[in-house]
Amino acid sequence: MLCGSACTTTTTETVRGQPVAPPGFFDRLADAITERECNVMRFTCPYGFGPANEPCECTDPKGVVLKGRTIK
């Protein structure tokens, strides 16, 4: 099978047995420019812009740097 630029692959996910469509262009754009928070064990801190579920770091009130994941 020859596959040029016209071929695409898509994956479908399910949530509670219901198919979920992959995010469209505007969904991906909005996700990329939405402000995020860094979620560490007990709290969140402002983190800036970018995609969700990326590694991040927060400094807790005691000055300890904690690693977490970005959330929406």
Per-residue model confidence (pLDDT) at position 69:
92
From the list 51, 26, 57, 15, the residue with the least C-alpha distance to 36 is 51
Looking at every residue in the chain, the average pLDDT score rounds to 76
pLDDT digit string (tens) for 14-46?
557 777 777 787 777 666 667 889 999 888 898
Alpha carbon dihedral 28, 32, 35, 38, in 10-degree steps, equals 100
Per-residue model confidence (pLDDT) at position 4:
53
In this model, does residue 2 exceed pLDDT 90? no
Q: Which amino acid is at 69?
A: R
